[in-house]
């Protein structure tokens, strides 16, 4: 049972994509997780269209679908389809639990919502880490500026002495000529 949940969690994590600036899951993956046919899932959603506004669910354009398939490098991904799949945002997936009322759908929805929460926490942690790193760089750049300036001074060659090396003769030069 624990192995099944772990495998399901990994499958959920791998099924989250960023499309049109939103983190989404595709209807084909959701149907596999809910253990229903993709067309049955889409049909249930279409019967309850008022529950799924544009920010909860949208259908991929053929170009988006082709691009996604090429990124995943599987030519027949999702089987032969007449239409591009639907993409569900986190809110759309939560709304699916009110449309699909099986016990499995409820359990899968809980795991999917947890996956989205984990993803948000990881992104927030990375953003916080980036802010801290930037602050440290600024702080240490100011402190080490003196050290870097001193090193640069040591690296620059000294200015050449303007005096010429050799003897200076203050007598008139002797002329050599032909006899």
For residue 63, give the CATH number of its domain: 3.10.260
Within a domain: 158:
no
Within a domain: 148:
no
Within a domain: 42:
yes
Within a domain: 56:
yes
Within a domain: 139:
no
What digits encode the pLDDT tens for the residues 111-157?
A: 888 888 888 888 777 777 667 766 766 666 665 666 556 666 766 66
Within a domain: 159:
no
The rounded percent of the chain whose pLDDT value lies above 70 is 68
What pLDDT is stored for residue 87 in this prediction? 92
Within a domain: 153:
no
Place of tokens 């600024």: 138
Q: pTM for the full model? A: 0.60
What pLDDT is stored for residue 9 in this prediction? 74
Within a domain: 78:
yes
**Mean pLDDT (whole number) for 162-173:** 71
What digits encode the pLDDT tens for the residues 45-69?
A: 899 999 899 899 999 988 888 888 7
Query: Which residues constitute the domain of residue 104?
Result: 2-126
Quote the number of domains for the chain: 1
């Amino acid at each position: 049972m624990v192995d099944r949940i772990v495998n399901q969690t990994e499958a959920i994590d791998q099924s989250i994509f960023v499309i049109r600036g939103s983190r989404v899951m595709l209807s084909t993956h959701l149907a596999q997780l809910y253990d229903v046919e993709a067309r049955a899932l889409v049909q249930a959603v279409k019967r309850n269209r008022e529950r799924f506004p544009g920010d909860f669910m949208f259908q991929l354009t053929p170009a988006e679908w082709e691009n996604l398939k090429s990124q995943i490098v599987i030519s027949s991904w999702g089987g032969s389809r007449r239409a591009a799949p639907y993409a569900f945002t986190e809110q759309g997936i939560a709304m699916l639990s009110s449309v699909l009322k099986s016990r499995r759908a409820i359990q899968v929805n809980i795991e999917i919502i947890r996956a989205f929460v984990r993803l948000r926490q990881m992104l927030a942690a990375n953003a916080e880490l980036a802010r801290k790193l930037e602050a440290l760089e600024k702080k240490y750049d100011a402190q080490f500026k003196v050290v870097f300036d001193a090193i640069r001074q040591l690296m620059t060659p000294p200015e050449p002495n303007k005096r010429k090396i050799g003897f200076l003769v203050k007598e008139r030069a002797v002329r050599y000529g032909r006899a």
